[in-house]
Amino acid sequence: MMDRVLKGVGVAPGVTIGIAQVIQWELPAITRSVVSPAEVDGEIVRLGEALGSARAFLEDLRERTRHKAGAEEAKIFDAQILMLEDPELRNAVETLIRENQLSAERAFEFKTLEMRALWAQSPSFQLRQRIPDLSGIQVRVLGHLTGQGVGVVVHRVEAVDRPTVAFARELTPGLTVQLEREAVSGIASVEGAKTSHAAILARSLGIPCVMGLIDGLDRVQDGMEVILDGTHGLVVLEPTAEEIDAAKAGERLRGALEAKLAESNGQPAVTADGRPVQLRGNVDLPEELEGTVEHRADGVGLLRTEFLVLGRTTLPSEEEQRDYFVQVAERFPHHPVVVRSYDLGGDKFPAAFQAQPEPNPFLGWRAIRVCLDQPELFRVQLRAALRARLHGDIRLMIPMVTQIEEIESTKDLVEGCVRDLAREGIDAAADLPIGVMIETPAAAIMIDQIVSRCDFVSVGTNDLTQYTLAIDRGHARLADRFSPHHPAVLQLLERVADAADRVGVEASVCGEMASDPVSAFLLIGLGYRVLSVSPPSLSLVRWLMRQIDADGAAVAAEAALLASTTIEVEAILEQALARYVDLQLLKGGRLPSIVGAAKLKSFPGTRS
Query: Sign of torsion, CA 279 285 291 293?
Result: positive
By the rule CB under 5 A, 474 interacts with Mg ion: no
CB closer to Mg ion, 53 vs 537 = 537
| Residue from 212, 460, 474, 552 in contact with ligand PEP (CB under 6 A) | 460
Instruction: Give the angle subtended at the CA of 280 by the CAs of 302 and 588, to the nearest 5°.
Output: 105
By the rule CB under 6 A, 461 interacts with ligand PEP: yes
Q: Which of residues 468-527 bind ligand PEP (CB under 6 A)?
A: 510-511
Q: What does 608 bind: Mg ion, ligand PEP, none (CB cut-off 5 to 8 Å by kind)?
A: ligand PEP
* Residues in Cβ contact with 597 at an 8 Å cutoff, skipping those fewer than 6 apart: none
Q: What are phi and psi of 22, to 5 degrees?
A: -90, 120
CB closer to ligand PEP, 362 vs 580 = 362
CB of 403 to ligand PEP, least distance (A): 18
Residue 14 region by backbone torsions, left for phi larger than 0, else alpha for psi between -120 and 50, else beta: left
Q: What does 288 bind: Mg ion, ligand PEP, none (CB cut-off 5 to 8 Å by kind)?
A: none
CB closer to ligand PEP, 104 vs 199 = 199
- Closest-by-Cβ residue to ligand PEP is 460
CB of 289 to ligand PEP, least distance (A): 17
CA distances for 227 relative to 20, 161, 166, 387, 599, angstroms? 9, 17, 12, 53, 20
Q: In whole angstroms, what is the distance from residue 478 CA to residue 205 CA?
A: 31
* Residues in Cβ contact with 584 at an 8 Å cutoff, skipping those fewer than 6 apart: 253
Q: 506 pairs with which residues across the strands? A: 456
By the rule CB under 6 A, 463 interacts with ligand PEP: yes
CB of 451 to Mg ion, least distance (A): 19
Instruction: Give the angle subtended at the CA of 442 by the CAs of 436 and 448, to the nearest 5°.
Output: 60
CA distances for 147 relative to 29, 50, 68, 153, angstroms? 11, 10, 29, 13
Runs of H (alpha helix) within 213-349:
241-264, 289-294, 318-331
Asked if 509 and 523 count as a contact pair (C-beta separation under 8 A), the reply is yes
CB closer to ligand PEP, 100 vs 608 = 608
Q: Select from 262-270, 328-336, 439-447, 542-550 the region that touches Mg ion (CB under 5 A).
A: 439-447
Whether 371 is catalytic is no
Instruction: Give the angle subtended at the CA of 499 by the CAs of 368 and 465, to the nearest 5°.
Output: 50
Q: Select from 168-176, 448-456, 461-469, 593-601 the region that touches ligand PEP (CB under 6 A).
A: 461-469
Q: Select from 189-197, 287-295, 401-409, 457-465 the region that touches ligand PEP (CB under 6 A).
A: 457-465
Q: In whole angstroms, what is the distance from residue 372 CA to residue 207 CA?
A: 44
By the rule CB under 6 A, 589 interacts with ligand PEP: no
CB of 208 to ligand PEP, least distance (A): 25
CB closer to ligand PEP, 23 vs 370 = 370
Instruction: Give the angle subtended at the CA of 389 by the CAs of 384 and 394, to the nearest 5°.
Output: 95
Judged by CB under 6 A, the number of residues near ligand PEP is 11
Asked if 180 and 84 count as a contact pair (C-beta separation under 8 A), the reply is no
Compose the 278-317 pattern: x for residues touching ligand PEP by CB under 6 A, - for all others: ------------------------x-x-------------
Q: Which of residues 539-558 bind ligand PEP (CB under 6 A)?
A: none
CB of 54 to ligand PEP, least distance (A): 35
Residue of 197, 232, 295, 485 marked catalytic: 197
Query: Sign of torsion, CA 465 469 472 476?
Result: negative
By the rule CB under 6 A, 608 interacts with ligand PEP: yes
CB closer to ligand PEP, 302 vs 522 = 302
By the rule CB under 5 A, 316 interacts with Mg ion: no
CB closer to ligand PEP, 192 vs 511 = 511
CB of 303 to Mg ion, least distance (A): 13
Amino acid at position 147, single letter: G
Alpha-carbon torsion angle 298, 304, 309, 312, nearest 10: -80
By the rule CB under 5 A, 306 interacts with Mg ion: no
Q: Select from 76-84, 308-316, 380-388, 460-468 the region that touches ligand PEP (CB under 6 A).
A: 460-468
Q: Select from 15-23, 36-44, 263-271, 456-464 the region that touches ligand PEP (CB under 6 A).
A: 456-464
Amino acid at position 472, single letter: D
Q: In whole angstroms, what is the distance from residue 608 CA to residue 204 CA?
A: 18
By the rule CB under 6 A, 347 interacts with ligand PEP: no
CB closer to ligand PEP, 251 vs 343 = 343
The size of the chain, in residues, is 608
By the rule CB under 5 A, 463 interacts with Mg ion: yes
Q: Select from 159-167, 175-183, 275-283, 460-468 the region that touches Mg ion (CB under 5 A).
A: 460-468
Q: What does 164 bind: ligand PEP, Mg ion, none (CB cut-off 5 to 8 Å by kind)?
A: none
Q: What does 251 bind: ligand PEP, Mg ion, none (CB cut-off 5 to 8 Å by kind)?
A: none
Judged by CB under 5 A, the number of residues near Mg ion is 3
Q: What does 510 bind: ligand PEP, Mg ion, none (CB cut-off 5 to 8 Å by kind)?
A: ligand PEP
CB closer to ligand PEP, 295 vs 304 = 304
How much helix, strand and coil, in percent to the nearest 5, is found in the chain? 50, 15, 35
Asked if 44 and 104 count as a contact pair (C-beta separation under 8 A), the reply is yes
Closest CA to 28 of 56, 44, 50, 57: 50
Amino acid at position 605, single letter: G
Taking the CA atoms of the chain, what radius of gyration do you get in angstroms?
26
Residue of 209, 371, 454, 510 marked catalytic: 510
Positions marked catalytic: 197, 510
The residues binding Mg ion (CB under 5 A) are 439, 460, 463
The residues binding ligand PEP (CB under 6 A) are 302, 304, 343, 439, 460-463, 510-511, 608
